[in-house]
Amino acid sequence: LCIACNSLTFCEQLKTKTMGDQYKPRVVGGDIMDHVNDAVVVVGQVQEQDGTTLKVRCADDQALTLTFAEPVQDLTKFVEITGKVEASGTVQVWTASNLGEDFDLAMYAQALGVIKQYPEVFHA
């Protein structure tokens, strides 16, 4: 879902808003304050949803608050978010992708460990 134009497809408006093809680190709740003003990718389990605010549990079991420009609906139990980390530690959402109802956060945490172990491979 493109927050910039409410389209379900990629658009040029979104590319500009999300800093184009720039590398965006995959972060968990415990890392979020290391990325203030950065574009990041967050994967989590939806815990609470209220209008434009979403609370998720990340792979490190930390809670994270995400804010949307407009009320969001139709999210699955697990989501992937791309957005910008604000000084408050919340993430201003640019895009949200549904990951379904049975995504394995523990396996995702292991994958993040591999990404951190081999940054030269994954941060190109």
Query: Does the predicted TM-score (pTM) go above 0.85?
Result: no
- What are the φ and ψ backbone dihedral angles of 35, each rounded to 5 degrees? -130, 30
3-class DSSP assignment, residue 4: coil
Task: Name the pLDDT band for 116 (thresholds 50, 70, 90).
Answer: confident
18-36 pLDDT per residue, tens: 455 678 999 999 999 999 9
Quote the CA–CA distance of 85 and 36 in Å, as a whole number. 5
